[in-house]
Amino acid sequence: MLSSCCSSGLISRSMKSSSSRSSSGMWGGSSKSIGATPRCRRLSAYPTFRSRGLPASKPPAVRSLEARKVPHRLIRFDPAIRSAVDVAREAGVEPDRVLKTLVLESEPPQRKPVLLMAPATIEVDLKQLAAALGMKRLRMARHADAERMTGLEVGGISALALAGKGFPALVDASVLHHATVFVSAGVRGADIELAPADLVAVTGARPVDLFPAASPE
């Protein structure tokens, strides 16, 4: 089913990962995990759907990854689909490999919001996450504020598309053992599949242990 969601194009299998693509981390220059040991597996060669067959205007994340020569694959789906769980169902992959991007505002305020990449199946306990990060409070940005601060539409907000623009990024450490994960391409209706090690390198994301929110009794 995944192949039916992919944009057609020339497949290249010769790309290799490069340490030169790394972004500087937004957390003191380090992407060290809080309470977790990352187990990133970098793929030395991965099929990449190139520009042929894509619309003239490529999603922002595609342009960013091509510039860095990062192996990746673009998948497309109905732009009306906003839920990461529904994207996983459409692509025929496990929901914990599809990451949603949450825009979080902190107290005390920072210059830019925090971008948190978490599996589709997790509801994050922001109070515990804030405590682990040494912050007073974290709260979810309202949709209008998230779009204003990132310049991207809700349903297409992407740490990959915003790489190098000063946004602090976090990623759930549990996803680092997957061979590949899926994240927004920067527009509605498109996701990028890539190795989690490359996601961390490009975005400068800091791996953290996420605390599931308690279920209401």
Mean pLDDT of 146-154: 95
Distance CA 76, CA 103 (A): 23
Q: Which of 194, 172, 176 is nearest to 61 (CA)?
A: 194
* pTM: predicted TM-score of the whole model, two decimal places: 0.74
Provide the pLDDT for residue 214.
59
- Higher-confidence residue of 180 and 134: namely 180
Q: Is the pLDDT of residue 149 over 90?
A: yes
Percentage of the chain modeled with pLDDT above 90: 60
- H-type helices in 99-195, by residue range? 126-133, 143-150
Q: Distance (Å, rounded) from C-alpha 136 to C-alpha 148?
A: 24
Map out the domains of the chain as residue ranges: 2-10+31-208
pLDDT at res. 108: 78
pLDDT of residue 54: 41
Please tell me which residue, 214 or 157, carries the higher pLDDT value: 157
Phi, psi values for residue 207, rounded to 5°: -70, 135
CB 195 within 8 A of CB 179: yes
Neighbour count for residue 53 (Cβ, 10 Å)? 12
Is residue 78's pLDDT more than 60?
yes
pLDDT of residue 215: 54
Tokens of 205: 């994301």
**What pLDDT was estimated at residue 216?**
53
Interatomic CA distance for residues 193 and 48, integer angstroms: 9
Tokens of 120: 């589709």
Task: Tell me: pLDDT of 207 over 90.
Answer: yes
pLDDT band of residue 174 (cuts 50, 70, 90) is: very high
Least Cα distance to 184 among 198, 194, 170 occurs for 194
Please give the helix or strand (H or E) that residue 68 lies within, else none. Answer: helix 60-68
Name the CATH superfamily for 2-10+31-208: YbaK/aminoacyl-tRNA synthetase-associated domain (3.90.960.10)
Beta strand 48-49 with 11-12: parallel, antiparallel or unpaired? antiparallel
